[in-house]
Amino acid sequence: MFREIEPICFKCVKARHFKKCSNCKEIKSPYSSKLDRSNLCKQCTESPFKSCEICKKDIPSGAFGRKCADCFAQDTLKKRLKLNKVGFSEFVATLYEEYSSWLSHRRGSAHAARQILKDRSAFEFLDCAFRKNNRLPNYAQFMRELVGTNTRPSTLTKKFFAEQRLFSADLERHQDVEEKNRIRRLINTFHHTESTTATIFLRYYGHLLRKYRKGALGIRSVRLALTPAADMMRLADIQQKKTVDQELLNQYLWLHLGQMNAASVFINYLRQHEKLALQIPSKEYFILPKTSESKRRLKLQLIELLSREMAFSIRYMELGMAYFHGRRLPKELSKIELYRNCKHEAGFLTVCFAKLAYVLPYPHP
């Protein structure tokens, strides 16, 4: 079919005989080319455009389907809305329709068609409470029970509820309840452990809580200060560290460089109250060093490791960084233990290296 002398795999067929059409952007067999060497498929060569069957707007002839992207998204939104509002009470079904219209106006039909599926669970809970009491719950009860069922409404859903004034509390009250729920989830991850790092974190929480009660901090500032501290303590638990040292701080900043300002509050607390000698390095410190080894040498070393079935070793991660990205793994990160939840998905091996994730080719046996 493609005039190949020897059998080739589907990946090589696609690479050799299929290109992206410059008009419809679909991957197809090229039929002709322009002066700038861009490819065109057969449909776009014979007739560049066709009309959308709904709005009659011109769309590329090679595009799949007979509708433009906007009409297709609007049609998908209508179908999903009709299907997903089944079973709701009349009041909540009307509210669900208003939410889809509000979301479509703010973000577009394509985003709304995806988002209403994710946010249906919040409306299900709202419908259950409405049927039970014949009225809506207050916002604090609504959020507390949602958190208890591991369901979290999106930010857009909460904005819609606030604009519709569905609950008795004002917008500031809504935000306070949300922040307190986030803090509660952070505290619960350390409340039932007796490690030294958990004790340090809970003492830090008590320090922030005293400031909040005096009015020196807002509830959102407390949550923003606790988040980097919780991440740093979890990183310490992974390595079974009993306290925060300079190496742990460097590891955290390698993984969360954008949190340097937020982490500085926690570091200042550790200096003053826990008497730990810690220094925040400059941003120039966090530049991945380039590798000096050749690609051929790195490839041979990777093949040797795979032949010895050592795909989960730190050395494999270092060689993968050097071969695929041309960078050396920082010395602090090479000491972090790998997470144990390695996944095998669709022929790829996802190795979670703390929060640094790399997708490497799956080593077939």
Q: Determine phi and psi for 64, rounding to 5 degrees.
A: -75, 140
Nearest CA to 276 out of 236, 233, 230, 244 is that of 244
C-beta separation of 111 from 135 below 8 A: no
| Tokens read off for 306 | 């795979």
Confidence of residue 173 (pLDDT cuts 50, 70, 90): low
Render 97-166 in DSSP notation, one character per residue.
HHHHHHHHHHH-HHHHHHHHHHTHHHHHHHHHHHHHHSSPPPHHHHHHHHHHTT----HHHHHHHHHHT-
Which range among 19-33, 38-52, 148-162, 328-342 shows the weakest confidence by mean pLDDT?
A: 328-342
Per-residue pLDDT at 348 exceeds 60: no
201-230 as b/e: b if 16+ CB within 10 A: beebbeebeeeeeeeebebeebbbbbbbbb
Confidence of residue 204 (pLDDT cuts 50, 70, 90): very high
Nearest CA to 48 out of 15, 20, 22 is that of 22
**Tens digit of each residue's pLDDT (9 = 90 or more) over 308-342:** 766 556 677 778 778 887 887 777 776 665 443 34
Give percent of the chain above pLDDT 70: 81
Which range among 150-154, 203-207, 243-247 shows the weakest confidence by mean pLDDT?
A: 150-154
**Tens digit of each residue's pLDDT (9 = 90 or more) over 140-159:** 667 666 655 555 666 777 77
Per-residue pLDDT at 303 exceeds 70: yes
Give percent of the chain above pLDDT 90: 6
Q: In this predicted structure, what is the pLDDT of residue 207?
A: 92
C-beta separation of 280 from 261 below 8 A: no
Return d(Cα 276, Cα 279) in angstroms, integer: 10
HEC letters along 248-306: HHHHHHHHCHHHHHHHHHHHHHHHHCCCCCCCCCCHHHCCCCECCCCHHHHHHHHHHHH
Per-residue pLDDT at 364 exceeds 60: no
Return d(Cα 236, Cα 229) in angstroms, integer: 11
